[in-house]
Structure 1
Amino acid sequence: MKIYSHKPDGYECPFCSIVSGVERPNQGTKQRDIIYQNEYVTAFIASKWWPNNKGHVLAVPNQHFENIYELPAEYAAEIHKAAQLSAFAMKYTYRCDGISTRQHNEPAGNQDVWHYHLHVYPRYENDNLYRTKGFQTEPNDRPFYAEKLRLWIGENK
């Protein structure tokens, strides 16, 4: 069901590119950033980081759904399984103090990529996640985090 759509005409979805194996020639996500993938979902290290929460993960459906209003329940379940795997992997490999997830819908909900996605953040005492701004990372900064999470998930799923 296509309701509450805000993507502009001609929108080229960066998450659909990742899922399909196409890398953009910029700072965006690379195939080596993927930590988990199945027929429903792809989870990867986000290309935008927060200063004290590096290596956070995005879990996206492999099929294009703009927002939560379109997302079928079977995809939602798989996204949350991927988020849970990511959370356990972060807890064990990053040694973080906790985990936060968040998800945005529509412009007023701070959605800025028109493909449903769930953020999974490693949290640390006094990390100020909600008081800091994100920044674009360099592609070579991400493999360190991706390899840790991918290895843990491969050994524990």
Structure 2
Amino acid sequence: MVVGPRCGSIVTNGCPFCEIVQREAPDTREVYRDEHTVAFFPLEPATLGHTLVVPRNHVPDIWSLDEETASRLARITLRLSHAVRRATRPEGLNIIQSNGKVATQTVFHLHVHIVPRWSTDKLGRIWPPETSYSETQKDEIWELIRRECGRVVRE
């Protein structure tokens, strides 16, 4: 990691989103920038108006995110969601944040997708119509997560 010359952000060499933060990516359609976040259109949007929001500091995933940065990111995501809604007039909206390759994260710089949705868009469903988990499986994972949530409160 290095400290970027233009904004003082912590950036990672070779990270395409760090290049956008540093204004080194010439084809970027930036829509918003402040001292902590940058928002821009992806090169291949899922729908028109699809916007990515990233922290200016390089954070690879949600597990590396501190609470202050998370708060700022959430606040800007909410504000930009309203802007996208006013600009595009969608029928709905997805907010998507993926972590890890298996969860479809392809750029390992934390980012939030704001995706306006229409019944005619090509994105389709993001959830399976049904699952086949047993009640025992659901109870076991419920107990494990409840136990871990109890530890979070104590931290």
**Aligning the two structures, in what range does the TM-score lie when normalised by the shorter sequence?**
0.5 to 0.7
Unpaired segments ≥5 residues, structure 2: 1-11, 127-155
Residue identity in the other structure for 2:37: V
TM superposition outliers: structure 1 runs of 4+ over 2 Å: 125-128
1:125 is the counterpart of 2:127: no
1:14 is the counterpart of 2:10: no
**Greater relative contact order (Cα < 8 A, sep 6+):** 1
Question: What is the aligned length?
Answer: 115
Q: Take 2:84 and 2:101, find their aligned partners in 1: how far apart are those partners?
A: 29
1:77 is the counterpart of 2:71: yes
TM superposition shift of 1:80: 1.5
Q: Equivalent residue for 1:108?
A: 102
Residue identity in the other structure for 2:77: A
- For residue 38 of structure 1, the aligned residue among 26, 34, 39 is 34
Q: Equivalent residue for 1:137?
A: none
Q: Equivalent residue for 2:152?
A: none
Q: Equivalent residue for 2:89?
A: 95
TM superposition shift of 1:70: 0.4
* TM-score, normalization by structure 2: 0.67
Residue identity in the other structure for 1:19: V
TM superposition shift of 1:95: 1.1
Structure number with greater Rg is 2
1:56 is the counterpart of 2:47: no
Residue identity in the other structure for 2:100: E
TM superposition shift of 1:94: 0.7
Q: Take 1:97 and 1:90, find their aligned partners in 2: how far apart are those partners?
A: 12
TM superposition shift of 1:59: 0.4
TM superposition shift of 1:56: 0.4
Name the SS for the 2:63 alignment partner.
coil
Name the SS for the 1:48 alignment partner.
coil
Unpaired segments ≥5 residues, structure 1: 1-9, 133-157
Percent of counterpart pairs with the same letter?
Answer: 30
Q: Take 1:47 and 1:129, find their aligned partners in 2: how far apart are those partners?
A: 16
* TM-score, normalization by structure 1: 0.66
Q: Take 2:124 and 2:13, find their aligned partners in 1: how far apart are those partners?
A: 29
RMSD of aligned residue pairs (Cα, Å): 2.0
Q: Take 2:103 and 2:113, find their aligned partners in 1: how far apart are those partners?
A: 14
